[in-house]
Amino acid sequence: MNTTKKRLFKSVITGLAAIILPLGVQATSDTPKDMHQLYEDNCASCHGSDHGGYLAPALNSDKLKGRSPTSLRSLIMTGSFDTLMPPFYGRLSDDEIRGLVKYLQTTPKQANPAWTIDDIKASLKVYVKDESTLPAKPTYQINSMDDVIGVAARGKYGRGSGSKAVFINSTTHKQIGEVATGTAAHIIDYNPANPRWAYVKTDTAEIFKIDLYSMQAVRSVKTGYNGPGMGVSRDGKYIMAGSFVPHNAVILDADTLEPLKTFELEGIDPDGKMVSSDSGMILGTPFDDIFAIALENAGQVWVVDLKEGFPVTKIEKVGRHLHDAFLTHGGRKLMIAAYDDNIVAAIDLKDRKIIKKLDAGCVPHVGGGAAVEVDGRTLGFGTNFGDCEKTVVSVWDLDKMEVVKQVPVAGGTESPAAHANAPYVAVDIISKDRRARTIQLIDKLSLEVVKTLDVGGHAYFPEYSADGKFLYVSAGYSGDEVVVYDSTSLEKVASVQMESPAGIFSHGRVRYMTRGLSPDEMKGAK
């Protein structure tokens, strides 16, 4: 928060406190069980079902010790500017808000709640029983399914009617369909083998199988309580999903969404301690019939072979607090970010070992990653939260595995976008002030920032259309629109309204694997 906003926010809080305090403490009859349900229904999708934090901070007795109940109550009422925290004024009664504050300040972080393979099985919902009744081709005008671009709309409250996956024709910028997801959509993956299927994962760990031809969900399954990790195998037959709560992962049949095997995520971390671990990124790769999954806290990458018994090869000591990753070299090499070591580790998925660790700025978060071919070199681009003095985007030579340049940018960054046909690599500035409205464009040749676009809202998750002609950016938080720019002139060409848009996922990704690479190179690589 910058000082102006901080001051403003303080004045709001003080103002509210002055009005609220004289009302005095009202007795609440809410039992902890009711409060638990209220927490699950309103807070847990962002703050974690175990009270341990997820997208948003942990809310438990330890974290909230010493915080004024009045200021917490005001914060819940007004929401928090510059974050995704919405105002609950008018949605929760004053008694409920008071009860929640009391409940949160007295409830410790919960033990990992169980969500077993039986729970997953029982959660399966079938919306279209006979898939042969579905149309044989898209029910809307589109030249290629690659032109479909999906946006994860969070909805203001992270749930409700605003929470959906919105699909847009990226040549006309018109919405072609939307699928309600109940809670905030987070990740959209496409089936590499059949263009009609998309998979959407929500913050409450449900996966929806979506028929893009008729724009409807055909099945859904709940894989855990919270966690965005999801990947699809190269043959389109399997999905792997991983959770923050509880600490497990599951392989699903991509066709039926039935669970096939679960994995307890635990292992010895780089400091020698046995830990239970959140699931980080999960990727299928065009290189092999495998999944790679990051164990965030254990600092390990597991390679799961898609054969009888789904055996696991564990790569240890990859880095502290692993998170997201991208693929290069035909999907053989995996570049994975380690928050606490400020590195990106390159892993060879064939030899299943670490190739090298590269400097990656402060708290690297590579998003979907980006890689471009320039002058015969394959350059990778790595964003990072930049929670330090130095705010840079790292550029690596992915053949030699060395740092080429650290490009100074205006603030912390979360996701780079690139396309073989577009001249710029776009990065989203996420620093919590006016800069969060902007994205910056790095020239592929000079590796310098050449332009800053004022998108509005909290601008993040840039993504190019499959033909590279247009750049899509979410004006998220209260911005409530996806803004479309011409990739070369950088003129704004369209806007698509939706509530709190976040991640943007081009269907073209299944062809170029990592954004910025050309589909032709992918063919050559196979």
Q: Which residues contact 490 (CB under 8 A, 6 or more apart)?
A: 424, 441, 451, 453, 471
Q: Which among 4-12, 25-33, 313-321, 352-360 is the span making contact with other proteins, rule CB under 8 A?
A: 4-12
- The angle that helices 94-106 and 69-78 make with each other, rounded to 10 degrees, is 130
Nearer to other proteins, 321 or 437 (CB): 437
Q: What is the per-residue binding string for other proteins in 114-153, x denoting contact by CB under 8 A? A: ----------------------------------------
Name which position in 457, 462, 468, 516 contacts other proteins (CB under 8 A).
Answer: 457
3-class DSSP assignment, residue 257: coil
- Contact residue for other proteins among 61, 276, 478, 518 (CB under 8 A): 478
Site for other proteins in 65-104 (CB under 8 A): 77-79, 81, 86-87, 89-91
Instruction: Say which DSSP state 226 is in.
Output: B
Find tokens 């090499």 and name the residue.
333
* Least Å from the CB of residue 163 to other proteins: 9
For residues 317 and 381, what is the distance between their CA atoms, to the nearest angstrom? 23
Among 150, 192, 330, 456, binds other proteins (CB under 8 A): 456
- Return the bridge partners of 327, or none: 334
Closest approach of other proteins to the CB of residue 436, in Å? 10
Select the span of 8-16, 175-183, 398-406, 444-452 touching other proteins (CB under 8 A). Answer: 8-16
Nearer to other proteins, 146 or 480 (CB): 480
> 36 or 91: whose CB is closer to other proteins?
91
Q: Count residues contacting other proteins (CB under 8 A)?
A: 34
For residues 415 and 471, give the distance between their C-alpha atoms in angstroms, rounded to a whole number.
Answer: 13
Q: What are 31's two structure tokens? A: 């039992």
Would you state the structure tokens that stand for residue 160, as one six-digit string? 């409700």
Binder among 68, 161, 194, 256 for other proteins (CB under 8 A):
161
Given candidates 39, 157, 339, 460, which one binds other proteins under the rule CB under 8 A?
157
Residue 12 or 401 having the CB closest to other proteins: 12
Q: To the nearest whole angstrom, how small is the minimum distance from the Cβ of residue 409 to other proteins?
A: 22
Among 93, 172, 194, 497, binds other proteins (CB under 8 A): 497
The Cα–Cα gap between 6 and 447 comes to 35
Q: CB neighbours of 400 closer than 8 A, spacing ≥ 6?
A: none
Among candidates 303, 315, 305, which has minimal Cα distance to 268?
A: 315
Beta carbon of residue 202, minimum distance to other proteins (angstroms, whole number): 16
Give dist(CA 371, CA 521) in Å, integer.
12
Q: Which is closer to other proteins, CB of 89 or CB of 140?
A: 89
Q: CB under 8 Å to 273, separation ≥6 — which residues?
A: none
Mind giving me the DSSP string for 453-479? Answer: EE--SEEEEEEE-TTSSEEEEEEETT-
Least separation in angstroms between CB 326 and other proteins: 32
Nearer to other proteins, 184 or 510 (CB): 184
| Closest separation in Å from C-beta 505 to other proteins | 23
Residues 6 or more apart whose CB falls under 8 angstroms from that of 431 comprise 386, 391, 410, 411, 412
Least gap, CB of 188 to other proteins (angstroms): 21
Interaction of residue 162 with other proteins, rule CB under 8 A: yes
Q: End-to-end alpha-carbon separation of the chain, Å?
A: 47
CB-CB neighbours of 389 under 10 Å:
6
Give the whole-angstrom CA distance, residue 338 versus residue 360.
9
Rule CB under 8 A: choose which of 117, 119, 126, 160 binds other proteins: 160
- Yes or no: say if 185 and 114 are a contact pair by the CB < 8 Å rule: no
Select the span of 9-17, 45-53, 240-248, 257-265 touching other proteins (CB under 8 A): 9-17
> 96 or 481, CB closer to other proteins?
481
392-431 residues near other proteins, rule: CB under 8 A: none
Do 258 and 252 form a contact (C-beta atoms < 8 A)? yes
CB 63 within 8 A of CB 134: no
Structure tokens at 325: 């990753």
Question: In which order are the strands placed within the sheet that holds 248-253?
Answer: 230-232, 238-242, 248-253, 259-264
| Token representation of residue 391 | 């705010």
Residue 84 vs 322, nearer CB to other proteins: 84
Nearest-angstrom CA–CA distance, 173 and 110: 45
Among 228, 236, 382, 479, binds other proteins (CB under 8 A): 479
* Residue 494 contacts other proteins per CB under 8 A: no
- Binding other proteins (rule: CB under 8 A), the pick from 347, 499, 512, 514 is 499
Q: Which is nearer to other proteins, 81 or 310 (CB)?
A: 81
Q: Does 178 bind other proteins (CB under 8 A)?
A: no
- Does 106 bind other proteins (CB under 8 A)? Our answer is no
Residue 117, CA distances (Å) to 208, 227, 250, 259, 279 in order: 17, 16, 8, 7, 16
Residue 439 Cβ vs other proteins, minimum distance, rounded to whole Å: 16
Q: How far is the CB of 430 from other proteins (least distance, A)?
A: 16
Compute the least distance from the CB of residue 153 to other proteins, in Å: 11
Which region, judged by CB under 8 A, interacts with other proteins, from 18-26, 259-267, 296-304, 415-423?
18-26
CA atoms within 13 A on the CB side of 305: 9
Nearer to other proteins, 21 or 114 (CB): 21
The residue ranges that bind other proteins (CB under 8 A) are 4-5, 8, 11-12, 15-16, 18-20, 77-79, 81, 86-87, 89-91, 155-157, 160-162, 437, 456-457, 478-481, 497, 499
